[in-house]
Structures are given as C-alpha cells and as structure tokens.
Amino acid sequence: MTQEELLENFSFLTDWEDKYRYLIELGDMLEDFSESDKIPQNKVDGCMSQVWLISQKKDNKYYFRATSDAHIVRGLIFVLLVLVNEKTASEIQSVDIKTIFDQLGLADNLSPTRRNGFFAMIERIRFLSQAI
C-alpha cells in the first residue's frame, strides 16, 4: 500500500468507529514477527503497549518490521511503516508524519498515551535510520 492509497482509504471513513475498525484491519496485515525478535533491544520505549521494532538497511534504503500486543497499535504501526519503509535516511527524516497523521483523522481521536507512543515509534525509526 502507498501513502496515497492510505490517505484515500481513510478519506472514505467519516467517523472514528470506522477508522478504528480499519486500523485494526491494517494491523492484521502486518508481517509475522517471531517470538525470538521480541527482545529488549527491539522494544520501543515510550509506548504504553508493548512494541517491538526491527530495522535493516539494504541498498541505502531502510526496511522496518514491527508488532505490538495491542490491536489498535498494530494498525498505527502499519500506517507508520507505509510512510517510512523502502526509503533512504534523508527521505525518512523529511516525511511530515504529523501532517499525514492529521490528514488521516487520527490526531483528534487517539488518547494522549497512544499518540505519545506513536511519536515514540517515529523517533525510534528516525534514530535507527541514522544509526545503521
């Protein structure tokens, strides 16, 4: 799925309950994440739910996999991965995730703790894309 497709799909959803259900559906589409990858080094700090994130670099582009123990967070992870996967470090740094988050209609409907966790994931991705 592309960023444009994601924005278009969310544009058809007019109320929060529909968006919430769609986020859960998106989370179900995440790649499998093995139990052996759920280690402290891969855990994202700052999230209320447990979130694990793995990155790798290939041909100057970054690839991320992640999961969570919470359905809604898994959906947020899917959204985030659509925005940052298969990009260079400079492209990842330049993605205006806050604006896209607002365009998706998610900013006003998530609890402050979920929103903080989402932005903690973003910071971890930005850090990892500079570190490897």
Number of domains in the chain: 1
State the residue range of the domain holding 7.
Answer: 3-131
CA gap 132, 129 in Å, rounded = 6
CA gap 43, 46 in Å, rounded = 10
CATH number at residue 126: 3.90.1010.10
What's the predicted TM-score (pTM) here?
Answer: 0.92
Residue numbers annotated as active site = 47
| Bridge partners for 83 per DSSP | none
pLDDT tens digits, one per residue of 27-57: 999 998 999 999 999 999 887 889 999 999 9
